[in-house]
Structure 1
Amino acid sequence: MDAIYLEDCYLKEFEATVESVTDGKFVVLDKTAFYPQSGGQPHDTGKLIHDGKECKVVFTGKFGGKISHELEDCDLKAGDTVKGIVDWDRRYLFMKYHTACHILSAIIHSETGAKISGNQLGEEKTRVDFNLENFDRELIGSYQEKVNEVIDRKIDVNIDILPREEAFEIPSVVKLKDAFPPDIQEIRVINVGDVDNQACGGTHVKNTGEIPHIEIFKAENKGKNNRRIYFRFVE
């Protein structure tokens, strides 16, 4: 299967061929622009159209290495040609949140040396988890200010598909070396100018200027050395 969102995050529509249908509703295509839920980024929704009939895509996930689309009102079979349409408002919101997450994570790491341990994107708020012994709440406002400064700089965000060894020359990527099985020979790296260079399989905007300003509205201690920050967009 060709995950075509990896190279073009802005692809809203595409044509594909049905490879298989399971239980009358789980559909695998030969290629897809629908993002499967993973890495803290929620799944895409939308619809598949065949012979003028629309099938609603209510969930997209990856199982056994294949991206599966869960459909409502599905009457598809292997070999059918379909047109896929991604729910763009939902996808674009998560693209903005995901890139903002990279920026905030990079600033936290630069300021404190903390390693980011996870994130979860949401439609109304997003969180970043990081490992840090001492949580200086007075610095949180400065993180917010620095993220918004990066947004205002309107920095281009580039996607680079790099050979494994070349990617491992990037300091922020080599830290994740053990996460990549030996059979993965190419690594997708998201580059945010001089701010961040990070391996990532998610969807991102092309320029930081597309992102609204953020507001950090909550900070929590989640246990020993585990800290969490919540942020949302403000227009």
Structure 2
Amino acid sequence: MKTKLLYQEDSYVREFDATVLDVSGNEVVLDKTAFHDGTGGVEADSGFFVFGGERYSAKAAHKGGEVVHVLDRPPVFKPGDVVRGVVDWEKRYRKMRLHTAAHILSAVLYNRYNALITGGEITHEYARDDFNVEGDMAAVRKIFEEAVAEVNQIAQRGIEVRVYWLPREEALKIPGVVKLAEKMPPDLPTLRIVEIPGVDIQADGGPHVKNTKEIGTVKIIKVENRGRGKKRLYYTVE
């Protein structure tokens, strides 16, 4: 990948200057970006770019192994120019809160029921996760309600979220570092680790809050039965 991912080192970067590497129509690749590209089930960031008095709405995407910024129109700037990028922070920050909440939720269900995630999505409005828990829906709803209550208790403890890198072989030796039922981390020599000490540790490439208190309160929206091994929980943060 040509682009340095600023959010992996500091998820709170809202504005940045970057050098244009490639322009193809309205798609732009930069040498660095604070825009998350939508990988890992987290909704891609949107925002805008400014150059020479022109403002371009933008949304990130992952294409061909690169972070591509899709603009609302072909830009006047060219490779070598420096542009100013601004992330839609209100939407990004809600996704960060939901993302960290999702890690705590997956840890609670993994520890209680050895449950793994079989699917998921995080938007700025809500998150949904599928878990391979079984039972009738009344029992499943109770499982989710008790898990969310524990998530909220943990969040209010104000735990600092740690982000660091480990060699892949070393990282994969950590129990529970992968909580996805059918997916392993990317085949990279080093893995980015997101740790909530005493609660959860996972290989993860996306943006997170610095402290669990920033999550607020997790609220259940609804619970669905999506078939065997797939009980879906929709939730949000307030």
TM-score range, shorter chain: over 0.9
Q: What's the offset of the Cα at 1:173? A: 2.3
Q: Is the Cα–Cα contact under 8 Å of residues 148 and 214 in structure 1 kept in the other structure? A: yes
Match of 1:207 in 2: 211
TM-score, normalising length: structure 1: 0.92
What whole-Å deviation, never above 9, does each CA across 1:105-155 have from its counterpart, x for those lacking one?
111111111111121112322111111232522233211210110111000
Work out the number of aligned pairs and report it.
Answer: 231
Pick which of 201-210 and 170-179 moved more.
170-179
Show the 5 A alignment for 1:5-84. Answer: 5-23=7-25, 25-57=26-58, 59-73=59-73, 74-84=75-85
Q: Is the Cα–Cα contact under 8 Å of residues 167 and 187 in structure 1 kept in the other structure? A: yes
Q: Runs of at least 4 residues of structure 1 off by over 4 A? A: 174-178
**1:121/1:55 CA distance change after superposition, 3 Å:** same
Unaligned runs of 5+ in 2: none
Describe the SS at the equivalent of 1:160.
Answer: strand
Describe the SS at the equivalent of 2:39.
Answer: coil
**1:180/1:144 CA distance change after superposition, 3 Å:** closer
Q: What's the offset of the Cα at 1:179? A: 2.5
1:111 pairs with 2:112: yes
Counterpart of 2:149 in structure 1: which amino acid? E
Q: Is the Cα–Cα contact under 8 Å of residues 134 and 225 in structure 1 kept in the other structure? A: no
Decide which of 152, 157, 165 is 1:153's aligned counterpart: 157
Please tell me the root mean square deviation across aligned C-alpha atoms, in Å.
1.8
Counterpart of 1:119 in structure 2: which amino acid? G
* Cα distance in 2 between the residues matched to 1:174 and 1:12: 29
Counterpart of 1:173 in structure 2: which amino acid? V
* Cα distance in 2 between the residues matched to 1:119 and 1:223: 15
**1:117/1:10 CA distance change after superposition, 3 Å:** same
Q: What's the offset of the Cα at 1:175? A: 6.8
* Cα distance in 2 between the residues matched to 1:223 and 1:66: 35
Describe the SS at the equivalent of 1:43.
Answer: coil
**1:228/1:175 CA distance change after superposition, 3 Å:** closer
Match of 1:96 in 2: 97
Q: Is the Cα–Cα contact under 8 Å of residues 194 and 201 in structure 2 kept in the other structure? A: yes
* Cα distance in 1 between the residues matched to 2:62 and 2:111: 33
* Cα distance in 2 between the residues matched to 1:224 and 1:16: 47
* Cα distance in 2 between the residues matched to 1:12 and 1:178: 30
Match of 1:179 in 2: 184
Describe the SS at the equivalent of 1:173.
Answer: coil
* Cα distance in 2 between the residues matched to 1:231 and 1:181: 27
Q: Is the Cα–Cα contact under 8 Å of residues 178 and 203 in structure 2 kept in the other structure? A: no
Fraction of identical pairs, as percent: 41
TM-score, normalising length: structure 2: 0.91
Q: Is the Cα–Cα contact under 8 Å of residues 127 and 230 in structure 1 kept in the other structure? A: yes
Match of 1:198 in 2: 202
Counterpart of 1:179 in structure 2: which amino acid? M
Q: Is the Cα–Cα contact under 8 Å of residues 120 and 128 in structure 2 kept in the other structure? A: yes
Q: What's the offset of the Cα at 1:169? A: 2.3
Q: Is the Cα–Cα contact under 8 Å of residues 167 and 174 in structure 1 kept in the other structure? A: no
Describe the SS at the equivalent of 1:39.
Answer: helix
Describe the SS at the equivalent of 1:99.
Answer: helix
* Cα distance in 1 between the residues matched to 2:93 and 2:179: 29
Q: Is the Cα–Cα contact under 8 Å of residues 116 and 179 in structure 2 kept in the other structure? A: no
Unaligned runs of 5+ in 1: none
* Cα distance in 2 between the residues matched to 1:106 and 1:180: 17
Match of 1:129 in 2: 130
Decide which of 214, 221, 224 is 1:220's aligned counterpart: 224
